[in-house]
Structure 1
């Protein structure tokens, strides 16, 4: 009945759902539900106003190395989550963590230690699968405007869901669907404004009401899009990519271009340079892909920091300092390079 997940991914499941935990007035919802089937481990939390489910694939259906684990579902009490999160932070992100439900415990075992949390194995939880299925299968209400009122305090809970999420609203009184990578959630619309008045009597309940209330502020000219109305920051010609997807695309493009041009060059130096560029780009892509799988947040940080270094332009200085910090002798490397260049010139 055990499943294995990296410590980083376990911590990420908790972080993406913790903001949606219900309060202690509803004990059944005062925690995070770990729900494992034969393929995914889910972390689910809900406070009745929002619901969030994040997942991690612990077993591939076509895997021949291990048999799928038996399904289980246990609720980790909110009071035990600080200890679990602190325990996760003490280990490297790539360390494997085995999650095993017991009679009245759920055990987490890693190479550096174990943690057992007391649980109620019979604790009930909301039918989250049915709830989210219902939200995804909602159809727009015919004749009803799609202009729901959403509590801004609740919207702040989605900041840990993903860097970018998609939303779908099908009616004023239907839950709004929130979708991210391996993430699914929903938020209930509110019927009461912050000042306590019902939205049923809100004078800004429709888009026509909004246009009427703001007509004095709107320009008398034609409507324009933000892309044409707002200035964009200047783009440097050598500006480095700052997102993981852009960097991955650039590396793959460089690997393909360099290797395809190998047969089109004449000199041995050009051939060697293209071969080196292609091999290096492919290696960098593989490393980035592995890092993104193991620790997406660290990958994003490294990409952003590297982009700043590339924009700075002092690559040789950064490399020199990194070599010295790693215990190498960059001056000796420079001397050897100059000696090789001198021998080539003498032979020519």
Structure 2
């Protein structure tokens, strides 16, 4: 009945759903539901106004090495989540965590220690599968769709994914929110402000909006944002913080290096092109894998790396990283300095 997940992915499941937890007035929803089937571990939370479900594949159907785990579902109380998140933060992200439901507890075991959280094994939770299936199967009724969404609730989706897709099928139907291994929904809000019946909704349709803003917007023709807004100057001496730009630059470097590999007339230049091409290709593959596994982490790493590159002290960063990993950067430095001396002696 146990499943294994990395500590980073477990923390990410919690982070993507924690903002949707119901309050303590509804005990059944006051926590995160860990729901495992034979292939995925899901984290689910809802307060009835929004619902969020994130998943992690813990077992591939075609895996021949391990048998699929038995399904289980347990609710982690909201009061226990701070301790669980702090426990996760104390370990490396690649550490495996085994999740095991046992009677009135759910146990989390890692190489560095264990954590047991008291739960109610009989606690019921909303039928989240049925709810989200209903939202995905909604169809438009043929009328213009212009739902009102509460901005306070919209802020909850900031941890869902770097980019999400949304689908609205009616003014009074839940809005579907989709990300990578993420599914959610948000209920439209009432349009009477502050609950006063005298506050009528004057912006219920797109025609109402056009009428309200007609004087301001009729001064000129309609144009697109791409042509209306100036782009910031791109300083090429600054490292990019965009994942797509970094990936493009890495692929360009691979192409450049491989094309010039045999166009040079000395072995040192050929070796330099080969090293640059191999390194750029490896970096691209690693970045692609990281972005697939965790887009948020990939974006953070690219941004942090850009700052380090702009700082100009990557040699010092590399020295500190090597020492922290248990290597001997001083020995590397000595070997590097000895190499030219040996060449001169041989000549």
What is the TM-score of this pair, normalised by structure 2?
A: 0.87
Residues 125 and 321 from structure 1, CA distance in 2 versus in 1: closer, same or farther, beyond 3 angstroms? closer
1:73 CA displacement: 1.0
Aligned-pair CA distance for 1:198: 6.2
Return the offset for 1:313.
5.3
Corresponding residue pairs, total: 347
The equivalent of 2:121 in structure 1 is: 121
The change in CA–CA distance for 1:86 and 1:171 in structure 2 (over 3 A counts) is same
Are the structure 2 counterparts of residues 73 and 324 from structure 1 closer, same or farther at C-alpha, using a change threshold of 3 Å?
closer
| Contact residue 144 and residue 172 of structure 1 kept, 8 A | no
Deviation at 1:317, TM superposition (A): 6.8
**1:38 deviation in Å?**
0.9
Inter-partner Cα distance in structure 1 for 2:15 and 2:305? 26
1:27-81 Cα deviation digits (max 9, x unpaired): 2111111111111100001111100000011111121111111111111111221
Q: Please report how far the alpha carbon of residue 161 of structure 1 lies from its aligned counterpart in structure 2 after TM superposition.
A: 0.9
Change in 2 beyond 3 A, CA 1:284/1:234: same
Matched-pair contact (CA < 8 Å) for 1:192–1:198:
no
Counterparts in 2 of 1:164 and 1:193: CA distance versus 1, 3 Å = farther
Q: In the alignment, is the contact (CA less than 8 A) between 2:260 and 2:273 conserved in 1?
A: yes
Unaligned runs of 5+ in 1: none
- In the alignment, structure 2 segments of 5+ residues that lack a partner are none
- Deviation (angstroms), 1:167: 0.9
Query: Is the contact between residue 22 and residue 30 of structure 1 (CA under 8 Å) also seen in structure 2?
Result: yes
In the alignment, is the contact (CA less than 8 A) between 2:162 and 2:296 conserved in 1? no
Q: Which moved more, 1:192-201 or 1:320-329?
A: 320-329
Question: Would you say the 8 A contact 2:192–2:199 is kept in 1?
Answer: no
Question: Matches of 1:119 and 1:336 in 2, distance apart?
Answer: 58
Task: Report SS of the residue matched to 1:52.
Answer: strand
Residues 333, 157 of structure 1: CA spacing in aligned structure 2 closer, same or farther, 3 A cutoff? closer
Rounded to whole Å, the distance in 1 between the matches of 2:82 and 2:323 is 40
CA drift at 1:248: 3.5
TM-score using structure 1 length: 0.87
Cα distance, 1:24–1:319 mapped onto 2, change above 3 Å: closer
Q: CA deviation at 1:264?
A: 3.6
What's the CA shift for 1:25?
1.9
